[in-house]
Amino acid sequence: MGSRREVPHTAPARGGAAPTVVGVDACPTGWIAVTLRAGAFTGAETASGLAELLSRVPDATVVAVDMPLGLLDTGPRQADTLAVAMMAPHRSRVFPVPPSEVWQEEDYAAANQCCRRLTGRGMSRQTWGLAVKLREANACRDGGDYRLHEVHPEVSFAAMNGSVPVAWSKKSWNGQAVRRGLLVGEGIALPDDLGPAGRVPPDDLLDAAAAAWSAHRIARRTARSLPDPPELTAAELPVAIWY
């Protein structure tokens, strides 16, 4: 990153201690988190707010979240372009993230118009549906919690699967079975009974577990990023999808 300010890349735990990391995904009730220690499952929990969730895991060295972190003033993010290419032929699993000005609008109609003006293309309602949680996640990192790293679970699952995207939808029985099997193959065995966290839709839980897998790799400095090196926001914060 040259002479520009560098956001600390989380180092491995001191003395070779097993790192505690967290993977987070948005869910209907707020956020779902999966915690790993030494790469193995230790718990899952939910919270209505991301800041609340982060306050519960002060010992976590890395928090990987399935939400865009870092918005550019103009142009597409390289992270999204590279992730789309990695997901072929399932490119629709990656949403292009519009420039920062779009996310400052108050409603979909205004955001869609702004997106067309800046990029020549509109934005889907599904993408706009991320607005509240996207702002929430970026506020946490912009506020100084640099443990936060952006991930994309489908990119993580593809990496577990020999760089091949999972063919089945994550909402299908087959797709969930394959993804759970990939996690087990990486040493992440999700129990059948997760208590209250088990009320969350299974695809959100699996996404959080995949995010945790990437968080463990980040903590161990074995993760890769799209792009490498990351782009930077105007505030010199990294813009990259880690896996």
pTM for this entry: 0.92
Contact predicate 70/150, CB 8 Å: yes
Comparing 185 with 75, the larger pLDDT belongs to 185
What are the tens digits of pLDDT across the range 15-36? 456 899 999 999 999 999 999 9
Phi then psi dihedrals of residue 134, to 5 deg: -60, -45
Structural Rg of the chain based on CA atoms? 17
Placement of tokens 């790799």 in the chain: 217
The residue ranges of every structural domain in the chain are: 17-94+134-242, 96-129
- Strands ordered across the beta sheet of 40-47: 40-47, 30-37, 20-27, 62-65, 148-150
What are the tens digits of pLDDT across the range 73-105? 998 999 999 999 999 999 999 999 999 999 999
Name every residue whose Cβ is closer than 8 Å to that of residue 109 and which is 6 or more positions away in sequence. none
Contact predicate 90/48, CB 8 Å: no
Tell me the CATH number for domain 17-94+134-242: 3.30.420
- Tell me what pLDDT residue 16 has: 55
